[in-house]
Structure 1
Amino acid sequence: MPSSCTAVSYGQTLPQESLAVIRALFTANGATVLAESSAQHPGFDAVTFSLEMAGDDEHDAVSRLRTALADAVLENLDIAVVPDSLHHAARKFIIMDVDSTLIQQEVIELLAAHAGKEAEVAEVTEAAMRGEMDFAQSLHHRVSTLAGLPESVLAEVEASIRLSVGAERLVARAKASGHTVAAVSGGFSQILAPLAARLGLDFALANDLEIVDGHLTGKVCGDVVDRATKARVLRTWSAEAGIDVGATMAIGDGANDLDMMAAAALGVAFNAKPAVRAAADAQINLPNLDVALALAGI
């Protein structure tokens, strides 16, 4: 019995030449286009293909098609192959990283600017995001530069946060359609908690900065939210929401997100480092989280 999946191509423009290449690759790899639809979204256009694949194993069919498409030269667009277990699910679970994903900035760098350590911290952050440093080790090093800052800087940083383009629409539309949305961060709960409340997120987790006598101590309380923690909470929260892991999507930009992305039915690299893009199931290379709605079929 044939298997099925969904492919979504997207970009600021959709050149017909590239779409023709995609259709030819479908045929060459045993995929039949059952339906094709186009739609305009804020900042990008998308074409969705419903596919029937030769063979009865959906996972193998999806993997084979992703490999073929990854080698294609496609001008001005990206394409994602989405398992039907996610795309057609009545209820979906979407989990996002926070820094440089849900929001445009890196909170640790905003805090470090108040301590005059922004350049030093930014360098360590970049190394950690590329996977060149252990995340927990890098976090402790960066947080140590904040020792002595008054607690009041947290409110200043919170006020300066800029959401990524499409972030509010992603959360609002997903939740209005009955889906579950979560955020997990290697950053700090003092910033994420009020943001999660404002957006109406169903679940949120981040590190706790230690504060004593109104000042940051340069330490975090408890275990660090690392890549293993992110994967664990994806499984835990989706189960609590009553949603099968086959209907989960994880979005992130750095090495700390890789385990979470691998655990999801669809792992999405959002304007990510090269190593993260290479490991992801799909890429969003536009600064626009609205693309995630198209990928998830919302």
Structure 2
Amino acid sequence: MTSPLVLTLIAAPGALPATLPARIRAALGDMGAIPGTPEWLAEGEACDLPFLELAPEQAVSIARGAIGALPVDAIAQPAEGRRKRLLLADMDSTIVTSETLDEIAAYAGLKAEVAAITARSMNGEIEFSAALRERVALLKGLDVAALQKTWEATEYSAGARELIATLAADGAVTALVSGGFTWFTGRVAQGLGFTHHFANTLEIEADALLGSVAEPILDRDAKLAILKRLAAENGLALTATAAVGDGANDLAMLGAAGLGVAYRAKPIVAAAARARLDHAGLRGLLFAMGYAAQDIKPG
């Protein structure tokens, strides 16, 4: 017999119709799967549907056909080992709602220009390191007060506090890994309780940005290397890890992690990722790992 798998349906609170799991269960059966009994992880928000004899990507395709236009996500994976022991998370547009570099640029009157470069980089149209250098160079001479103002306006994504608090309470290692800047990752890591944080360093002198970033730049290859290093340091196989992010520079770590989730992702990332959260908040990542509502810490 094949190993048991599980399809998890996830939505914003109250947005998962009570009848949907049964409809998807029937659709899976029609396509040759052996579906089990749906189990609600959170009423109206998340439901597990165990199944056998069908590949995860096929189950997700069938589920999405039944979901249609409903704001519901579907993630399928092996049932064993769902609770990952290491999480790597991108920061901008993932753990926080904004792109912090774009917001800094607003104080130089260059937000539109910088944001356009950011968008192309995050969708894989231009190389990340070159794009980062180009954007930072435009900010040469900007007062560091712009960083503080940007931080004061920065908001956490829905479910970010719960995600990190729950994993920490369960003894998992969490790392914030960003192509942004340590000036922000340090504050986010402290505020949410991440175990580690890694990012690029803005070069500053006399309270002004020098328009440069310390080398080497933390790019997609560096994110992958950090995933592998932290897994090895904690005695974990990559199958015991998770990663979440939205941009092209996250693709390598998403592909290597046991559970790689594209969160509100750019088109190139959404197309390549094995798992996606397009509608639910970051609580959804906990449901994908098998946590029920009563297991989730408020943060």
Mapping of residues 20-169 of structure 1, within 5 Å: 20-40=22-42, 45-53=45-53, 61-69=55-63, 74-76=68-70, 77-87=72-82, 89=83, 92-169=85-162
User: 1:8 is matched by which residue type in structure 2?
Assistant: T
Distance, in Å, in 1 between the alignment partners of 2:80 and 2:238 is 9
User: 2:68 is matched by which residue type in structure 1?
Assistant: L
Structure 2 gaps of 5+ residues are 292-299
Post-superposition shift, 1:40?
Answer: 2.7
- Corresponding residue SS for 1:79: strand
Post-superposition shift, 1:84?
Answer: 2.8
User: 1:224 is matched by which residue type in structure 2?
Assistant: I
Distance, in Å, in 2 between the alignment partners of 1:193 and 1:255 is 23
Post-superposition shift, 1:221?
Answer: 0.3
Distance, in Å, in 2 between the alignment partners of 1:202 and 1:175 is 8
Answer yes or no: is the 8 Å Cα contact 2:24–2:62 preserved in 1.
Answer: no
Write out per-residue CA displacement over residues 27-56 of structure 1, whole angstroms, 9 at most, x where no aligned residue: 244432334211337xx61111222336xx
Identity of aligned residues (%): 34
Answer yes or no: is the 8 Å Cα contact 1:96–1:251 preserved in 2.
Answer: yes
Post-superposition shift, 1:220?
Answer: 0.4
Mapping of residues 194-205 of structure 1, within 5 Å: 194-205=187-198
Distance 1:35 1:69, change over 3 A: closer
Distance, in Å, in 2 between the alignment partners of 1:216 and 1:125 is 19
Deviates more, 1:282-291 or 1:254-263: 282-291
- Corresponding residue SS for 1:205: strand
Name the structure 2 match of 1:11: 11
Which of 261, 275, 287 aligns to 1:282? It is 275
User: 1:22 is matched by which residue type in structure 2?
Assistant: I
Which of 191, 213, 229 aligns to 1:236? It is 229
TM-score, structure 2 normalization: 0.89
Distance, in Å, in 2 between the alignment partners of 1:218 and 1:121 is 13
Structure 1 gaps of 5+ residues are 55-60
Name the structure 1 match of 2:238: 245
Which of 220, 224, 240 aligns to 2:217? It is 224
Distance 1:11 1:225, change over 3 A: same
TM-score, structure 1 normalization: 0.89
Answer yes or no: is the 8 Å Cα contact 2:103–2:111 preserved in 1.
Answer: yes
User: 1:252 is matched by which residue type in structure 2?
Assistant: G
Name the structure 1 match of 2:296: none
Distance 1:248 1:162, change over 3 A: same
| 2:2 counterpart of 1:2 | yes
- Corresponding residue SS for 1:102: coil
Distance, in Å, in 2 between the alignment partners of 1:63 and 1:283 is 12
Name the structure 2 match of 1:208: 201
Post-superposition shift, 1:184?
Answer: 0.6
Name the structure 2 match of 1:57: none
Which of 160, 172, 175 aligns to 1:179? It is 172
Name the structure 1 match of 2:295: none
User: 1:50 is matched by which residue type in structure 2?
Assistant: P
Distance, in Å, in 2 between the alignment partners of 1:242 and 1:132 is 36
Distance 1:70 1:223, change over 3 A: farther
Post-superposition shift, 1:67?
Answer: 4.8
Structure 1 segments, 4+ long, off by >4 Å, are 67-73
Answer yes or no: is the 8 Å Cα contact 1:83–1:265 preserved in 2.
Answer: no
Post-superposition shift, 1:276?
Answer: 1.3
- Corresponding residue SS for 1:22: helix
